[in-house]
């Protein structure tokens, strides 16, 4: 999952402004249709924490949608709490579990519900003098520590304090209180003041090895917490996302970006019928007619894997009428689209692993079938 673990280093970017037509040097002409408000693009730098950046960006859009103003929330506050949660899971399972940088949208929502969140200014996850995130040494140290303490015949009660000491050294100590908007606040008070309810959000996927309109634990490596997804047909999954974006709700996206047709620097994600054509990024071309069976085949063969999470903030069409999803990435200000990219509908249908949305964004008929 190289895209999770080796994201490029770039500067912070300003939010791409709404515009009617965008003509790129490559020859793609995009006309934006739906454009949900979102906060500026950030960079996850040398970390595998796209899941936190994408989901926190989603939460910031939810605050904008609900008229609560612009927030800059701390991705690393969530990351730190997830590291602790994963450590407990790893140790209790005696190393027979996943301990890595990767996680999923529902992990952020669980951490948000349990521990709250703080502003970026209160906890950046960077030590004094640091301008970039880099967790390569941190994660090696955390896992080495856990593997070391599990060699003991009897585990002491002190190991978590030692684990947190490593987190303190690399990410900084967690603030008990901080000043925000002229008031001294705790994470609990700050989160309560925002008024977001983590239980208002649902995750959906679409695979045929489980029954439709039921929940199941999605079998992907980063689902260490055994989170459940509502399983719906592909047509319903697309309908949910389209309904959300058309009505001002953004969508947190989890999927595969290892295809030849995905290039964040070009700002394009497509699944062409001929992936080797030389003008792939110069002009739109014919794409696959993706079916439910195609999704299942690529998932079972490992051709589709959970390797990156991003934030869908709108829709657009190109000059041929092909629909795209305006997608906010977390690799900084790259491409002519300032850190955003255009994901075609065929790419979405084939390479989406799961999505997170507000339950009110789900069309009534689908919502009724899911009993949510």
Sequential DSSP letters for 97-108: S--SS---HHHH
97-114 pLDDT per residue, tens = 999 999 999 999 999 999
Centroid of chain to Cα 123: 20
Residue-wise pLDDT for 318-327, tens only, equals 999 999 999 9
Cα–Cα dist 341/92, whole Å? 41
Rounded to the nearest integer, the mean pLDDT of the chain is 93
Q: Where are the domains of the chain?
A: 2-370
Alpha carbons 55 and 187: distance in angstroms, whole number: 18
Q: Model pTM?
A: 0.92
With bands split at pLDDT 50, 70 and 90, how would you rate the model's confidence at 23?
low
For 20, phi and psi rounded to 5 degrees?
-80, -45
| Architecture per CATH, 2-370 | Alpha-Beta Complex (3.90)
- As a whole number of angstroms, the distance between CA 176 and CA 1 comes to 35
Per-residue pLDDT for 18 more than 70? no
């Amino acid at each position: 999952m190289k895209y999770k673990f080796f994201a490029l280093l770039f500067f912070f970017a300003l939010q791409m402004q709404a515009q009617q037509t965008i003509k790129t040097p490559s020859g793609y002409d995009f006309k934006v249709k739906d454009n949900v408000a979102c906060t500026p693009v950030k960079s996850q730098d040398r970390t595998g924490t796209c899941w936190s950046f994408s989901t926190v960006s989603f939460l910031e859009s939810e605050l904008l949608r609900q008229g609560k103003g612009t927030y800059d929330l701390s991705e690393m506050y969530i990351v730190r709490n997830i590291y602790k949660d994963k450590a407990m899971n790893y140790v209790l399972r005696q190393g027979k579990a996943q301990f890595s940088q990767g996680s999923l949208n529902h992990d952020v929502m669980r951490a948000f519900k349990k521990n709250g969140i703080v502003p970026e200014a209160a906890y950046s996850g960077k030590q004094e003098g640091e301008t970039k995130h880099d967790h390569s040494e941190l994660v090696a140290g955390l896992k080495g520590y856990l593997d070391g303490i599990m060699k003991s015949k009897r585990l002491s009660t002190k190991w978590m304090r030692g684990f947190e000491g490593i987190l303190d050294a690399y990410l900084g100590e967690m603030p008990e209180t901080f000043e925000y908007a002229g008031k001294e606040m705790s994470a609990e008070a700050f989160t309560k003041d925002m008024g977001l309810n983590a239980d208002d959000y649902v995750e959906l996927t679409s695979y045929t090895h489980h029954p439709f309109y039921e929940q199941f634990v999605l079998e992907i490596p980063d689902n260490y917490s055994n989170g459940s997804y509502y399983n719906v047909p592909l047509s319903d999954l697309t309908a949910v996302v389209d309904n959300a974006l058309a009505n001002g709700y953004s969508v947190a996206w989890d999927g595969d970006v290892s295809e030849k047709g995905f290039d964040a620097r070009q700002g394009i994600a497509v699944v062409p019928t001929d992936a080797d054509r030389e003008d792939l990024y110069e002009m739109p071309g014919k794409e696959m007619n993706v079916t439910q069976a195609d999704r299942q085949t690529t998932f079972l063969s490992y051709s589709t894997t959970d390797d990156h999470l991003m934030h869908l903030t709108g829709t657009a069409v190109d000059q041929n009428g092909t629909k795209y999803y305006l997608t906010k990435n977390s690799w900084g200000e790259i491409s002519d689209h300032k850190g955003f990219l255009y994901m075609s509908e065929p790419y979405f249908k084939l390479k989406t692993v799961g999505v997170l949305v507000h339950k009110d964004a789900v069309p009534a008929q689908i919502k009724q079938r899911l009993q949510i």
